[in-house]
Structure 1
């Protein structure tokens, strides 16, 4: 069996709150092969987004092991983790997280410039054209609709050609039409760049388009099915 792109072994996540220690994720073991599209589903509070954060090194496992592209994420300090994400991962959030004082082009070019790419602006323009925003290059986030802002966020995540693309409720703030367009773009980006795609969603239609559906409840995986067998 080839090594998985993402691998969790008995991973747990606990956080300290006002009421004491809270168990967020419990003994998660998960393998994600290269090129797979995987959806994480379940009720609110089931641990979906926390699991995505573990996969992206945005949260550290309390115990167990998290490996991405053969790299043990727990062995990296914060600076090394940031560089790893910059070079190997693209992350898309529900709330876009665009820099308000930068144009769409500048937002997309920023991670490329941080990585030292000499053609950052050219590549950023190509990514924006690929998501249908060639006419919005010089617009600021406040001048864009919600759907357009999410397109910019997708272009920014995909511009560095990441091996792993993580998306947390990418259609959650959008209406049905814009949500459908973002779904199409996500899978197009995956196909164009050959990335492994893991996404959190409440959308049945988006989950059903993935190769595999993993269902969580109370911080545990309760179902793991290939698309043909998924509900």
Structure 2
């Protein structure tokens, strides 16, 4: 059995809103192993995206513990978490989050430059070619379709060769054809770089491609099972 890359123990998440304190996640315990593909499913508002944010250190647990690659995320401050993500994680969001004033090449290369990668632009170009955008590297986000922008986001997430790849509804803003292409690319990136892939999805066909599926309901793990073979 492979080593765990993520271990969540009795994690809770509460956030303060206009109506007062809201409890988002309750007593979450979960282990994700190296090379595993994990799907997070459940109805809207069940806590899927919040759990993914905890895994990436983008939200801090109110209580409990989150270990990633042997490091305690719950003991880190914001700067430490940012450095940990930079060095170990790739994150793909539903809404792309590209920098509009940068070309596709610059969007992918900039995080590499910040991480001190010497061949940042060469690696960025290689990743863009790997997702079929070799002829779009000088284009800006506004000059690209939604599917192309998500490909840029995939290239940006995979270029640092992350050990953990997190995806939050990566096909949510795309049509069926583009969505299917993005998913194939996501799994290809996982295979090429040997990453552990964790994704939030509403799509049953996508969940079925995962090694294991965790179903959340009302902020709790409702069920956990291997995907249908």
Report the TM-score, using the length of structure 1 for normalisation.
0.98
Q: Residue 69 of structure 1: CA displacement?
A: 0.5
Aligned to 2:49: 49
TM-superposed CA distance for 1:71, in Å, is: 0.5
Report the CA distance between 1:2 and its aligned residue: 5.0
Counterpart residue number, 1:6: 6
Match status 1:101 vs 2:104: no
Superposition deviation, residue 3 in structure 1: 3.8
Q: Which secondary structure does the structure 1 equivalent of 2:173 belong to?
A: coil
TM-superposed deviation, 1:147: 0.1
Report the Cα distance in structure 2 between the residues aligned to 1:18 and 1:176, rounded to whole angstroms. 37
- Cα distance in 1 for residues equivalent to 2:215 and 2:148: 30
SS at match of 1:107: helix
Instruction: Give the superposition deviation at 1:223.
Output: 0.7
Partner of 2:27: 27
User: Could you say which residue in structure 1 is the equivalent of 2:214?
Assistant: 214
Size of the aligned set, in residue pairs, is 229
For the pair 1:177 / 2:173, whether they are aligned, the reply is no
Secondary structure in 2 matching 1:10: strand
Q: Secondary structure at the match of 1:61?
A: coil
Residue 18 of structure 1 and its aligned partner are, at CA, apart by: 1.9
Deviation at 1:94, TM superposition (A): 0.3
In 2, the alpha carbon distance for the partners of 1:2 and 1:80 equals 27
Partner Cα separation in structure 2 for residue 192 and residue 11 of structure 1:
32
Please report how far the alpha carbon of residue 190 of structure 1 lies from its aligned counterpart in structure 2 after TM superposition.
Answer: 0.2
Q: Distance in 2 between matches of 1:65 and 1:41?
A: 22
**Residue 85 of structure 2 is aligned to residue 66 of structure 1:** no
Counterpart-to-counterpart distance in 1, 2:3 and 2:14: 28
Q: Post-superposition shift, 1:16?
A: 1.1
How far is the alpha carbon of 1:76 from its aligned partner? 1.1
The two structures, once aligned, show a CA RMSD in angstroms of: 0.9
Determine the structure 1 residue equivalent to 2:139.
Answer: 139
Alpha-carbon shift at residue 10 of structure 1 (Å):
0.4
Q: How far, CA to CA, are the matches of 1:179 and 1:95 in structure 2?
A: 13
Shift of 1:29: 0.2
Question: 4+ runs of 1 displaced by more than 6 Å?
Answer: none
Kept in 1: contact 2:7–2:68 (CA 8 A)? yes
Could you list the per-position Cα deviations for residues 136-182 of structure 1 after superposition, in whole angstroms to 9, with x for gaps in the alignment? 00000000000000000000000000000000000000000000000
Pairwise CA distance, 1:81: 0.6
**Structure 1 stretches of 5 or more lacking a match?**
none
What residue number does 1:187 align with?
Answer: 187
Residue in 1 that maps onto 2:163: 163
User: What SS does the aligned partner of 2:221 have?
Assistant: strand
